[in-house]
Structure 1
Amino acid sequence: MNFFGDLVKVYEQNEDLAGKVDESGPTLVPIAHNSVNVQIEVRIDGQGNYISARPLDKEETVTIIPATPAAVNRTSKPAAYPLSDKIVYMAGDFAQTMTDEKERDKAIEQHKLYLAELSNWASSANAPVEIKAIQQYISKGTLLADLMSDNFEDKDKKKIAKGDLFARFIVNSKPVFQDQLIFHNWTRFYLESQQDHEESQPIGIDYITGKRGITTKSIEAGISSRDNNAKLISANDDSAYTYRGQFLGDDYYSVSYESSQKMVHALSWLVRRQAIYVDNRAFVFWGTGGTEKPLDVATLLTGFRSAGHFDKKTQDKNSNVEDARAVATQYRDRLRGLVANMSDDETVSIAALDAATTGRMAVVYYNVLDGSSFKQNVMSWGDTASTNRFFKDHVERYTPNFSEIINLAYGNGSNGSRFKKLSKQVMTQLVSAVISGRALPDDIYRAAFRRIKHPLGYSDSPQGTAGTQIWENDMFKHAALIGYRNGGGNEMTTEELNRDRSYVFGKLFAVMNEVEKLSMNIQRQRNSSVTDRQTTAMRFMTNYMERPATTWNRLLSTVNQSYISRLGGGTRARYERAYLDLIHQLGDGMTDEPLEYNFSRGFADQTVELREARAEAKKKREEQKND
């Protein structure tokens, strides 16, 4: 089924929620209704007598109101909503306050339109008693006077006097704006009135359902709160000639009014409830029928927290070092948990929306997968695009989220408009590749690799994170990313990894980096004025990547001369044994051929191994001391 058809299906499968107020999220708007911000609440009795009114707090203003296409899309030409509208439409006495004759005539016309819409509904056979009471009150023409004589503050009265505020009703203690029966009554009345005047309505084939019926060209805007004027279907072929030579006018599409309402309201509901934004581009995931089951997966892919980090509350506080295999098992269990509630025969839809222009919403990406493929691809991403990290006293499995990957590859100048435009394009590439199980564009890998090769280009963050720490974090992110590029690189055997020259050089680099960091830490314990700084390895890194053998000899000489001698005998022996074993492992690979992507994987693995061993040695020393 196509995108629009899927949205109609989502609406129909959740139609019982239409108009049902949900305090935890947005409400699915019923057919022939709209969601607006209302500022005034008017209370009347069942006989249409005014009781009181009050201004609404900001968090109360969002209100579902009955609507017509003309009212929803009105500009300068007057068109009235049938129940809640601006005071200038609702108040019969508003025109009396105006001195400008042209403006007074316009206000009179606006009120006549409003009263006609409301009276037509109130006089229908099955009109709710509350609507009849409201019509009785409005017919008195005293709304503005009642509001101005009520106990409003002067600042609120000034706003009321301008006539631009919307008002809603409570009748006999019943909030009309939350009553599903009243919503359904208006929907039925409006659709039936369209059928009664079918001869004056446009008739055609609904391209979504394939059925013949009343069509519309008035497609609502307001799908995304960040692009509130953008419409899902919009074209002006009278001047711009969007489809010149192919169609006459706007005959390129034909959609029934009901289908247009269902697809727009369903999409708006999904976007406002569960979209993830990158700049103004909205990424939204939903399961069969618009269920929220894939939401955790959306967070895994594009959330702002790394999915691979376990909640520290679940860690065993008495355990210093996690067994690597247990960590990997726990991580895979968590991945499975994210998709466990999704059945194999369920479908998952993914859409990316952006405003192509101020008035047009573009669907820049759309895909539908069966649950089995979706789960498999998500599991593959989480399982391969990951690496171990050592946090304080334990090992964790880590997968960078998409936002982190974008910042890793293109983060320099991330406050500029170019970065914002690029980031949403790359996010779309990441989403489409991962959920489809395809390779990522190599541009992302290259850009990320260029960045980590220049640690001297990193500076401290405004939040106080040291540039050295930011660079190290990026090294681990790149290592995880290369795991996905290798098509399951985290499952490579030790022999396969050890034969990779770039991987082994990355491990050698990590040994020298750790030796100096440990030496600096010892100095800092003796002298608190010693601050963190870039290591010799970091300063040599760019040359190391281009001419590894030559730069290694310089690095080894510098670190041996200045730092390794400061370590204790056992610690020094452990690090010397580590780099000597790795040199032996390289064999004929000790050349100046430039290094490739697996360098970061070697760095990450060796860093975790060294820190884990150091933590284990510290634990043993403490146990011996306690004994």
Structure 2
Amino acid sequence: MTWLADLYETYQENLDQVGQTLLRKKQTFSLLPVGHAYRNAQIEVQVTPQGEFFSARVLSKEEAPTMIPVTESSAGRTSGVVPHPLHDGLKYVAGDFDQYVETKRKATTPYELYLKQLQPWAQTNERIKGIYLYLKKGTLIRDLVTEKILFLDGNGKLISKWTKELTDEYGLKPELFTVLSGTQDSAMVRFTTHEPGKIGETPVWEDPELQNSAIVEFAEGQNDIDYITGETTRVTESHASGLRYAGDMAKLISANDATNFTYRGRFVDKSEVAAVGFDVSQKAHNVLKWLIMKQGIVRDGRVYLVWGPELPESHSPLAGGAEFMDDDGLEDDLGNPKDHTQEEFAKLLKSAIYGPHRERLTADKVNIMILDNATPGRIGILYYNSTNQKQYLERIEQWQEHSAWRHTYFKEKRPYHYFGAPSLYEIAKATFGENANEKVLNNATTILFTCVVEGKKVPFDLVSKLSHRVSNPQSFEQRWQWKKAMEIACSMVNHYYFRAKGGCSVSLNKESNERNYLFGRLLAVSHVLESEVLKAQATSSRATNAERYMNAFSMHPVKTWMIIRKNLQPYLNRLSPGKKVYYSKLFDEIMNQFDQVDYTDKALDGRYLLGYYSQEYDIYHKTLGEED
């Protein structure tokens, strides 16, 4: 339950943010008060204080998230009939629902339960009273049909699905069908009051007085010991849903299976497991929703979240080196890309991570959480950890340094280069392919995420798979995709084999006699030599022998090198005398670096990719006088 205590503490530290509206990715949100939740509304209805219908409109998807009051039961409702206190679906708020939708008659309808619950609140609040008086008339759907918000079929029932024939009949497709994912009868309605002639009225769902009124009105339940605070207080067995987005029904805490294996042999009923205070549960879940909306990264339902009192929101373990830099670090005054040396980029990265005052790093707690669906109705915590800000930022820095390589990306078709680690999701895609199953990519990203925040070594099987995939250039649709994967593979190989030494430089190490590195150099020289001849013959699109034999070379380097070297001779003969001497000397120089016992046909590991990249980079940039 540590995560609950940490979230509760975070809420208490941000009480001044309650109700404050924020905007991210075109969505408005705020830290919810106790007893409130976000739900997506599709229809807004205005009524007069006297209970008369005034107007209605369809809400866009951006306007849909609405802060609504909820009861303890309705906050986590799934399939049961449990009404919210005010804003709710048509089957709850429309007294004429049964007239327009085919339903099975029940002893007590959702509308009757809703109205019974709303009545006491209406007696204590004038704005709620106006809404109650209107809804009590039971004419909501009729009024919405009149306003051309809802539409009926030939039998006088709500149209279940909009068809092309209906478009031909009515003209354009109605707004409601563009924002609804289900049928018309599943639409949710939010209410507000409007006094004709009055300007600047606060909508009901944004009214602080109404929010406080709802908290008091629906505060009821039994007392017990709260296992989080240790205090005797009102506890709850129903916990909130809607954590990742307004319509998310998956819950973190749930125990509604009393007939199978949930308690067998351990507890008589669920209340014996643990009791959580209503206030604690509400605040913890509400601040978790707020944090996810404010700074969480959600990919295919999986949530990556890091938070702390003074932690910059942009400092995510998922980010690549370029994402820590602003445009000033990547572009000159004219907006042109800048190439930095590896040392320059390291300084820029430190400045971006720590800011100007590294010595002021605090020991404030940093919380790290990964969430995902366990089942469609349950969300599980895949990972939870706490550290301090100093250690957290230092581990991000270490990851960027130990996984550093030269990477290329394009902005407006112009190449940019940076030194550092690639983003974790890009590593996963390079390892398993662009079209890999999203669950596979998410699982790989999560493993890498834990490596960053815990300062662990990248798993060997991931490095091996990535190296093997890059060793087969023919499997990539585009050459730039292979080059990108090659750079990412070099980052991970660098991290795995040279992490303890602070990483391997992109600069060519002519002193290294490590066999994998040397074999990689041989292959690179072969590729560059042949590419130069093919380019001169205007056949540069053809794959070189080095590319075609790369996979075989990684498995049997000596045997395959003999084949490549033999095939290379005609290309060597086509070079100018000076170039021929240059490449011949380069081959001899590399061969002389080998220790006799290392020149074997044993399979290569990923380190040969470092030799390949650095040798190729050295040849192409030598004449330009560039350094890394």
- Provide the residue aligned with 1:207 in structure 2: 227
Corresponding position of 1:231: 251
The structure-2 alpha-carbon separation of the partners of 1:446 and 1:454, relative to structure 1 and needing over 3 Å to count, comes to same
Amino acid at match of 2:225: I
Identity %: 27
Query: 1:256 and 2:274 equivalent?
Result: no
1:366 aligns with 2:363: no
Indicate if the aligned counterparts of 2:141 and 2:150 stay in contact, CA closer than 8 A: no
Indicate the structure with greater helix content: 1
Spell out, residue by residue over 1:238-281, the C-alpha distance to the aligned partner (whole angstroms, 9 max, x if none).
22213422222212121111111112222222233433344432
1:63 equivalenced with 2:61 (yes/no): no
1:356 aligns with 2:368: no
Runs of 5+ consecutive residues of structure 1 not aligned to the other structure: 195-200, 525-529, 618-627
CA separation of 1:501 and 1:423: change in aligned 2, threshold 3 A: same
Deviation at 1:74, TM superposition (A): 4.2
Question: 3-state SS of the aligned residue for 2:228?
Answer: coil
Aligned to 1:268: 289
Structure 1 position 579 matched with structure 2 position 602: no
> C-alpha offsets along residues 177-209 of structure 1, whole Å, 9 cap, x if unaligned?
222332233123323xx2xxxxxx332211111
* Residue identity in the other structure for 2:144: L
Question: Mean alpha-carbon deviation: is it higher for 112-121 or for 260-269?
Answer: 112-121
Name the residue aligned to 2:621.
Answer: 612
Aligned residue in 2 for 1:624: none
Q: In 2 relative to 1, CA 217–443 (structure 1 residues): closer, same or farther, beyond 3 Å?
A: same
Aligned-residue RMSD, C-alpha: 3.6
Give, in whole Å, the separation in 2 of the partners of 1:454 and 1:331. 32
Q: Output aligned runs, 1:76-475, within 5 Å.
A: 77-92=80-95, 94=97, 97=99, 103=105, 106-107=108-109, 110-124=110-124, 127=125, 129-150=126-147, 152=149, 154=151, 158=158, 164-172=186-194, 173-191=201-219, 194=220, 201-225=221-245, 228-250=248-270, 251-288=272-309, 293-300=312-319, 314-315=331-332, 326-340=341-355, 343-389=361-407, 396-411=418-433, 415=435, 419-456=437-474, 458-460=475-477, 465-466=478-479, 469-475=480-486
* Corresponding residue SS for 1:513: helix
Structure 1: distance between partners of 2:624 and 2:311:
42
**1:543-595 Cα deviation digits (max 9, x unpaired):** 43344344334423322x22234444554444334333222222534443432
Q: Distance in 2 between matches of 1:322 and 1:492?
A: 19
User: Could you tell me whether the CA contact under 8 Å between 1:286 and 1:294 is conserved in 2?
Assistant: yes
Aligned partner of 2:170 in structure 1 is none
Give the whole-Å Cα distance in 2 for the aligned partners of 1:98 and 1:390.
60
Give the drift of 1:497: 6.3
Q: Deviation at 1:599?
A: 0.9
- 1:52/1:390 CA distance change after superposition, 3 Å: closer
Give the count of matched residue pairs: 580
Contact 1:37 1:63 in 2 (8 A): yes
Which residues of structure 2 form unaligned runs of 5+? Answer: 160-175, 177-182, 195-200
Worse overlay, 354-363 or 233-242: 233-242
Using the alignment, how far apart are the partners of 2:491 and 2:326 within structure 1? Answer: 13
Alpha carbons 1:307, 1:401 under 8 Å: kept: no
Asked whether the 8 Å contact 2:319–2:423 carries over to 1, the reply is: yes
Could you tell me how far 1:385 is from its partner in structure 2?
0.5
CA contact (8 A) 1:321 1:615 kept: no
Which of 524, 543, 548 does residue 510 from structure 1 map onto?
524
State the alpha-carbon separation in 2 of the partners of residues 19 and 42 from structure 1.
Answer: 22
Deviations 1:146-190 (A, max 9, x none): 434435474699469975432222323431122233223312332
Find out whether 1:521 has 2:521 as its counterpart. no
Q: Report the Cα offset of residue 350 of structure 1.
A: 1.5
Show the counterpart of 2:165: none
TM-score by length of 2: 0.82
Q: Structure 1 278/271 Cα, relative in aligned 2: closer, same or farther at 3 Å?
A: same
In structure 1, distance between residues paired with 2:605 and 2:116: 74
**Structure 1 pair 533–184 and aligned structure 2 pair: CA distance change class (3 A):** farther
Quote how far apart the aligned CAs of 1:55 are: 2.2
Q: CA shift at 1:384, angstroms?
A: 1.5
For 1:361, the aligned partner's letter is I
Report the CA distance shift for 1:541/1:144 in structure 2 as closer, same or farther (over 3 A): closer
Distance 1:233 1:377 in 2: 32
Question: What letter corresponds to residue 473 of structure 1 in structure 2?
Answer: K
Measured after TM superposition, the shift of residue 382 of structure 1 is 0.6
Cα distance in 2 between the residues matched to 1:224 and 1:320:
37
Using structure 1 for the length normalisation, give the TM-score. 0.82
Q: How far is 1:373 from its partner?
A: 0.8
Structure 1 pair 241–397 and aligned structure 2 pair: CA distance change class (3 A): same
Q: Is the 8 A contact 2:494 2:504 kept in 1?
A: no
Instruction: Give, in whole Å, the separation in 1 of the partners of 2:450 and 2:382.
Output: 11
- For 2:281 and 2:92, the matched residues in 1 are separated by 27
Separation in 2 of the partners of 1:610 and 1:42?
70
Displacement after TM superposition at 1:87 (Å)? 3.4
1:123–1:137 distance in 2 versus 1, CA, 3 Å: same
**Whole-angstrom distance in 2 between the partners of 1:612 and 1:406:** 30
Alignment correspondent of 1:623: none
Query: Any conservation in 1 of the 2:47–2:192 contact (CA below 8 Å)?
Result: yes
Per-residue CA deviation, residues 319-339 of structure 1 (Å, 9 max, x unaligned), is: 99957xx34322441354034
Other structure's SS at 1:296 match: coil
Conserved? CA contact 2:33–2:211, under 8 Å: yes
1:409-443 deviation per Cα after TM superposition (whole angstroms, max 9, x unaligned): 332xx646xx4333322222111111111112221
The 3 A distance-change label for structure 1 pair 297 and 152 is closer
Counterpart CA distance in 2 for 1:333 and 1:30 is 41
* 3-state secondary structure, aligned to 1:247: coil
CA distance in 2 between counterparts of 1:399 and 1:92 reads 59
Going from structure 1 to structure 2, the CA distance change for 1:3 and 1:509 (only over 3 Å counts) comes to same
Deviation for aligned residue 1:212: 1.2
Residue pair 1:70, 1:79 contacting (<8 A) in 2 also: yes
Output the amino acid matched with 1:212. T
Out of 207-216 and 397-406, give the one that drifted further. Answer: 397-406
Taking a change above 3 Å as real, the CA distance of residues 444 and 184 of structure 1, as seen in their structure-2 partners, is: same
Cα distance change, pair 249–237 in 1 and its aligned pair in 2 (3 A): farther
CA–CA separation in structure 1 for the residues paired with 2:223 and 2:440 = 43
Match of 1:478 in 2: 489
Give distance in 2, aligned partners of 1:606 and 1:13: 54
Per the alignment, residue 44 of structure 2 pairs with 41
Equivalent-residue separation in structure 2 for 1:585 and 1:316 (angstroms): 45
Aligned to 1:487: 499
User: In 2, are the aligned partners of 1:388 and 1:397 still within 8 Å (CA)?
Assistant: yes
- CA distance in structure 1 between the partners assigned to 2:469 and 2:377 by the alignment: 38
Residue in structure 2 matched with residue 621 of structure 1 by the alignment: none
Q: Report if the CA contact (8 A) 2:314-2:324 is conserved.
A: no
